[in-house]
């Protein structure tokens, strides 16, 4: 399949998914979200693939929503925002629910929805250039749909620190918060990911898939319900004056840089 916003390649039993909008710091738009859903759905049922590596082209992982896309959704009505929130939720679920182990290989920015994408992966390996954060509150938005996934990875205390302040943290802080699994030097990132791929390839594919399924189902919180609630909240937040004004200010600042 040919994609507009991602690159996909197979090396043996390793599937590489590369977010491919480097000129936009691999920012998300509706096309990229749909393509991520499609490729992860395909990988999940592909018996020849044993592990997925998700990364970004160029020097960044994913900087969040594209500016043009943000401007577009700020003019959506409620029903359009609900549909778009569902699309974002489905993208995160496609990654989180993939039957194969998914490794996020992170350099540069992993912010907002981009940080959410990394959080949905089973493992995150980052180098010293990586920056993580949820700056949505600074523009009148909320990191609603990513929140259930973040709370599966880190404590509520750390989640509050990230989400209420909008602070951007480096990879060393991310390790201390347990947001990422491994910090590697930039020149060792590829080798670290390769070593982890070999570990997963040597384990039972069926056991990995079953373990992932159990982890999803035995959680104390019904994450489907949480995500439905989050999607509603996300869509309603997009209708507020703070969000619309915040988007306009954010876009103007970026355009004037």
Question: Tell me, what's the pLDDT at 200?
Answer: 96
Q: What is the pLDDT of residue 220?
A: 63
Q: Which of 10, 23, 136, 188 is flagged as catalytic? A: 136
Q: Which pLDDT value is given to residue 4?
A: 96
Spatial separation of the C-alpha atoms in residues 249 and 75, rounded to whole Å? 15
Q: What are phi and psi of 28, to 5 degrees?
A: -80, 145
The backbone torsions φ and ψ at residue 255, rounded to the nearest 5 degrees and listed phi first, read -70, -30
Tell whether the model's pLDDT for residue 44 goes beyond 90: yes
> What's the CA angle centered on 65, arms 95 and 74, to 5 degrees?
125
Read off the CATH number of the domain in which 118 is found. 3.90.226.10
In a domain, 222, yes or no: no
Mean pLDDT of 31-59: 97
Query: In angstroms, what CA-CA distances link 140 with 108, 137, 164, 212, 254?
Result: 24, 5, 11, 35, 16
As a whole number of angstroms, the distance between CA 231 and CA 235 comes to: 6
Over residues 172-182, the pLDDT tens digits come to 999 999 999 99
Mean per-residue pLDDT for 58-75?
A: 93
Report, as an integer, the average pLDDT of 120-126: 98
Res 82 pLDDT > 90: yes
Residue 139 lies in a domain: yes
Longest dimension (CA), the chain: 52
Residue 223 has a pLDDT of 67
- State the pLDDT at residue 221: 57
Q: Does 129 reside within a domain? A: yes
At 107, the pLDDT band (50, 70, 90 cuts) reads: very high
Q: What's the average model confidence in pLDDT over 77-103? A: 96
Residue range of the domain that includes 86: 6-202
pLDDT value at residue 255? 81
Number of domains, the chain: 1
Question: Is 149 domain-assigned?
Answer: yes
Q: For the segment 208-241, what is each residue's pLDDT rounded down to a tens digit?
A: 998 888 788 767 656 677 788 788 888 888 898 8
So what's the pLDDT on residue 14? Answer: 98
Mean pLDDT of the chain: 93
Domain assignment of residue 71, yes or no? yes
224 is catalytic: no
147: in domain? yes
* Per-residue model confidence as pLDDT tens digits over 155-208: 999 999 999 999 999 999 999 999 999 999 999 999 999 999 999 999 888 899
Tell whether 17 is covered by a domain: yes
Q: Does any domain span residue 10?
A: yes
- In percent, how much of the chain has pLDDT > 70? 97
Report, as an integer, the average pLDDT of 123-145.
95
């Amino acid at each position: 399949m040919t994609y507009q916003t991602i690159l996909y390649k197979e090396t043996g039993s390793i599937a590489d998914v590369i977010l491919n909008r480097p000129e936009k710091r691999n920012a998300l738009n509706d096309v990229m979200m749909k393509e991520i859903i499609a490729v992860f759905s395909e990988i999940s049922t592909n018996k020849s693939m044993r592990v997925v590596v998700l990364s970004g082209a160029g020097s960044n992982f994913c900087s969040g929503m594209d500016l043009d896309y943000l401007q577009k959704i700020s003019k959506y009505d409620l029903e359009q925002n609900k549909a778009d929130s569902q699309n974002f939720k489905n993208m995160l679920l496609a990654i989180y629910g993939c039957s194969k182990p998914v490794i996020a290989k992170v350099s540069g920015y992993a912010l907002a929805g981009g940080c959410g994408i990394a959080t949905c992966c089973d493992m995150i390996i980052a180098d010293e250039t990586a920056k993580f954060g949820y700056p949505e509150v600074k523009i009148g938005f909320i990191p609603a749909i990513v929140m259930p996934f973040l709370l599966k990875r880190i404590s509520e205390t750390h989640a509050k620190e990230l989400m209420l302040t909008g602070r951007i943290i480096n990879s060393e802080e991310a390790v201390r918060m347990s947001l990422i699994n491994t910090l590697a030097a930039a020149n060792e990132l590829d080798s670290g990911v390769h070593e982890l791929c070999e570990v997963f390839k040597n384990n039972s594919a069926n056991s990995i898939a079953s373990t992932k399924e159990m982890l999803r189902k035995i959680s104390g919180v019904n994450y489907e319900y949480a995500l439905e609630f989050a999607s509603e909240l996300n869509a309603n937040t997009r209708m507020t004056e703070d969000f619309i004004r915040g988007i306009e200010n954010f876009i103007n600042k970026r355009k004037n840089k």
